[in-house]
Each structure stands twice: as C-alpha cells, then as structure tokens.
Structure 1
C-alpha cells in the first residue's frame, strides 16, 4: 500500500492505542502491508467457509460456535484492513503495488463473506439464499466501483453510507451473532437471510447516493 491519502477511509479507530501498538509491532517485525492485506483475504476465506458450513448443521451448539468464529473472522478481516494502512502510511512501508493491495483484497473479501453467507442460508433449507448472498456481494462491489469511478473522474473519494464497508461488516457480524442464538426459538437460517437483505438494501441505497454525489460533483 502506498501513501494514497486521498483514498484513505476516515476511521476514528485508527488513533486507538491498541491499533497504534499493533502497527508498530508489525512494522518493527518488518511485516509488509501487502502481506497484511493478503491476510485479510485469508480470514474472509475462513469466515465464508464457516458461514457455509454453519447453515447445513443441525447441532445447535456446534452451529453457534461456527457462527461466533465467523463473526471473529469478519472482525479480523477489518483489523487487517486497518493495520495495513497504518503500517504503510504511519511507518512508511508502502510499496509500488500498494494501490492494488489496498482495493482488490477488499472486494474479494466482500464477495467471499457475503456469497458464503448466502450459500449458508441456502444449505439451511431456505430458498433464495444463494441469490441473496450474490446480490449483496455484487452491490457491495458496486459501492466501491462508484467511489473509484469518481476518483477516476477527478472527484474526491466518497465513503458515504449507509452501507459502506465498515457498516456492511458490522451488520454481517451482528447477524452472525444473532444466528448463533437461533436454536433458542428453533430458527434455522432466517436471521442470516434477513441480514443479507438488509446489507443488499443498504448497499443499493449507498450506490444510488454515491452516484448522485458524483453527478453533482461533476456538474459543479
């Protein structure tokens, strides 16, 4: 990741003491930010696989454990996204291929987690789960596409919501944790499906909002 400050998502957690300490430790260990970005994809692969597996299980306890682990993978993915930027910018370890590693792993991770959740819903016996997962994934990628389209047209990066990356992953995490409790009311997959619908709807609103912002910026 290079020091592409114009395309840096504004995050308050970036100033948190724990994040600063972790970034410093990684920089002192000479861990490249691109490796941290790649690790975020590894967590997304694991999280997506856990979501797919959890949906097919009938064992309530084991299923709950998998959902909790998936939620942890989602948050670990976000932590990697935070740390790669801190190591690259604050510690000056960015490389020439940084812009690629800054964007491409994020898009891959979104698809793996959201599509994986969709397959998990489908394997729980709910029709339309796969479609819901892929629709959410495509719309998530579109939110980033509109932002990068704006930058290509000379406009500032637009990180507006309501369902930017952080909000998407927070929503998916919350619905994973609620899904872990589904056996209490004999549910099986409906909670995660609701989460995908919320993410898809919010992402669609985000795409429309960012497109409108871009159009206004170009007119100005």
Structure 2
C-alpha cells in the first residue's frame, strides 16, 4: 500500500520500480494467505482465533492496497484518484461484510464475483504491472485510475449480486 501511494509522488524508473515491487507484494500476500489457511486446515493447527486472523488482515490489506493505488493514480492530473481508491476499498470491505452477514444468518459463505478478492487483486496486479511502463508512452497514472475504476464497478456488481443471493436464500427459508 505504501509503495502504491508513494508511486504517485515520483516519476520515471522509481515509479516503475515501486509499482513492480507493489505488484509482487500483492501476489506474495495472496500466497501467504493461501498457505496459512492450508496449513491450519490440513495440519489441524487452527485456533479459536482463526476466523479473526483469516478475515481481519484481508480487510486491512484491501483498504491499504486500494486506497494506496488511488494516491498512486494522482500523477495523471486526475485529482479524483484518492476518492476512486477509497471507493474501491469501501466496496471491497462491503463484499466481505455481505458474505459474513449471510454466514451470520446461517448460510454458507458466498464467494461469488465477478470481482471477489482474488479477481480484485489480479486486476490491481495487472494495473501495477502495466502502469510501471507508462513512461514509454508518456502516461501519467491513467492505468491505475482505469484499474481502480474496473475494480470499483466490478466490486459494486459483486455486492449487488451477493446481496441478491442472500435475499433469495432468506426468501426460500421463509
């Protein structure tokens, strides 16, 4: 998140380097998230606090990465980058909230998309990778802005879809 935010304040190769390292960090975070869950489940090392450590860091990471990308998008002369990043972050947290609301009501977790966490992080990683090369065509942050717009719209669709699924389940339950 810090690398993404800092990328908005630098140009040239330092910006590209920050974005490439940020993209790598996003993917490493996903790998670590996958591995810790597999170890806990496969080796019976889960704890009563497992659900907290499974969800809370993901929500913090969503906010830091997406809001950070918004500040990184400010180089485009588009002052709305931070607002777009925060919008994407809030929607990402809302997708998890709707999923957990359904679980709290006794339904299985709904991981439907189109932009659940893995897809959001894939779009953000791709945006970082492409944005790192923007100086080649004199770009100034448009790629991160576009990536955040795709994430915001896709995540809004995800929230609406999950909410509709939850409403359907509640109606079927009677």
Verify same fold: TM over 0.5. yes
Q: From the superposition, tell whether residues 145 and 156 of structure 1 become closer, same or farther in structure 2 (CA, over 3 Å).
A: same
Flag structure 2 segments of 5+ consecutive residues without an equivalent: none
Match of 2:54 among 102, 108, 112: 102
Does residue 1:151 correspond to 2:103, yes or no? yes
Does residue 1:76 correspond to 2:28, yes or no? yes
Does residue 1:138 correspond to 2:86, yes or no? no
**CA apart distance, 1:122:** 2.3
Does residue 1:198 correspond to 2:153, yes or no? no
**CA apart distance, 1:124:** 5.1
Per the alignment, residue 56 of structure 1 pairs with 9
Match of 1:93 among 45, 52, 70: 45
Per the alignment, residue 79 of structure 2 pairs with 127
Post-superposition CA distance 1:144-177 (Å, at most 9, x none): 0000000111111100000000000000000000
> 2 CA distance for matches of 1:92 and 1:144?
25
Q: Size of the alignment, in residue pairs?
A: 172
> 1 CA distance for matches of 2:30 and 2:19?
17
> 2 CA distance for matches of 1:97 and 1:213?
28
Flag structure 1 segments of 5+ consecutive residues without an equivalent: 1-47
* TM superposition score normalised by structure 1: 0.76
> 1 CA distance for matches of 2:123 and 2:145?
12
* TM superposition score normalised by structure 2: 0.96
**CA apart distance, 1:123:** 5.1
Per the alignment, residue 178 of structure 1 pairs with 130
**CA apart distance, 1:93:** 1.0
**CA apart distance, 1:189:** 0.8
SS at 1:73 equivalent: helix
Contact preservation (8 Å) 1:57, 1:124: no
Match of 1:187 among 126, 130, 139: 139
**CA apart distance, 1:125:** 3.3
Contact preservation (8 Å) 1:118, 1:134: yes
